[in-house]
Amino acid sequence: MTNTLLAYPFRLFFLLVGLYGVAVVLAWMGFLFGGLALPLGWSPLHWHSHEMLFGFTAAAIAGFILTAVCNWTGAPPLQGRKLLLLGLAWLLGRVAMWLAGYLPLWLVALLDMLFLLCFAAVLLRTLTRHGNRRNLPLAGMILLLAVANLLMHIGFITGGTEWLAQGQALAMGLVALIILVIGGRIIPLFSANWLRNRGSPVVVTVLPVLDRACLLATALLIPAEWLGQAWLTGVLALAAALLNAWRVWGWKGWYTWREPLLWVLHLGYAWLVIALFLKGLNAFAWVSPASWQHALGTGAMGTLILGVMTRVALGHTGRPLQLPAYAWLIYGAISLAAVCRVGAALGWFDYRLGVMLAATGWCFAFGLFAVMYWPILSRPRLDGRPG
């Protein structure tokens, strides 16, 4: 089993994502409502956001990109001892963050920074060796994620909340961009192929000019927040929401309703649109910041991570692209979690009840993924091919 888990990046990291997604939210709920004392040494709220961004989400991004880069370049996968070392770098960072109350904060920062820096180095080396310039911006985004991580650690060390806020904002902006870039590649492609294979006359619309406009408007949100001009952030966020809504509308997701492995990707991208819209409203103080943050985190990130993992794990292990029996419950649970968490932030539900239901749905979704996909991720490909 160990050799198989180290045969391809998605195997190891997707399993870690499933397990850590449950662990970090259970710990957070235990702290909020159960009196669990976390040995953190700093603001529990920022520890939670840090681990969701740089622990949980970063592992999911690594699992997907380090797998996809093999298709983009023809390079062999990171595997064996090198993959194990990268996984250990991620684990070392998590141990340091969980024991931060007992360790020097500079050491916590050093240990936690290792993973993203090593991930970026592996990606850059693969892309440059194979002359794949098109995907170099993704490597740049990973390096900027490492910068965002550094900013948060400066805040932890100095006690400066402005550093924590800037690091978190930069990370969330970068995650939105990564969703936009990766989603824009795979969602219309997978949908068009599926519709074509079934003889459907429906045409998925991809407009390069619109794609660039979406990218530009969403990217400009990052410097706008640094400038601290709320009106500019609000206008850009609402423009980005409108452009991305137009984009996802052209992908004709409602025609894929018979295929859960597809419609869940459209749903995840729709949550990005909602997050951008709420971010615009928040800039004008019409909704709380927690509403857009959780629309992005629980809604877009949670849904798309599960959607991508459930699909990639099947396709890259030689299995038919058919969701296992009852695995649709994974999608139902994460949708419940997103609605309840955003609804609680908007005041639609009792806060405590909404957060508890959201946490239950989240943990059920990622726990069920780990249980159902453990055999898929830990066993050799069905077709006997390597990987």
What CATH number is given to the structural domain containing 370?
A: 1.20.210.10
Total tally of structural domains belonging to the chain: 1
Any domain includes 92: yes
Q: Distance (Å, rounded) from C-alpha 135 to C-alpha 124?
A: 9
pLDDT averaged over 10-residue windows placed end to end, the chain, 387 residues? 87 98 94 77 84 97 96 93 97 95 93 97 96 93 97 93 94 97 96 94 95 97 91 97 98 95 98 98 96 97 98 94 95 98 94 95 98 95 81
Predicted local distance difference test score (pLDDT) of residue 385: 82
Domain that holds residue 167: 2-378
DSSP letters of 319-378? --S-PPTTTHHHHHHHHHHHHHHHHHHHTSS-HHHHHHHHHHHHHHHHHHHHHHHHHHHH
Give the burial class of 2: count Cβ atoms within 10 A of its Cβ; 0-12 exposed, 13-18 middle, 19 or more buried. Answer: exposed
Predicted local distance difference test score (pLDDT) of residue 59: 98
DSSP 383: T
Q: Distance (Å, rounded) from C-alpha 43 to C-alpha 66?
A: 32
Predicted local distance difference test score (pLDDT) of residue 285: 94
Long-range contacts of 217-226 (CB under 8 A, 24+ apart): 217/243, 218/173, 218/176, 218/177, 218/180, 218/244, 218/276, 219/173, 219/177, 221/173, 221/176, 221/279, 222/169, 222/170, 222/173, 222/174, 222/177, 225/169, 225/173, 226/166, 226/169
Give the burial class of 266: count Cβ atoms within 10 A of its Cβ; 0-12 exposed, 13-18 middle, 19 or more buried. Answer: buried
Any domain includes 122: yes
146 token code pair: 């490492």
Any domain includes 386: no
Any domain includes 145: yes
Any domain includes 156: yes
Any domain includes 387: no
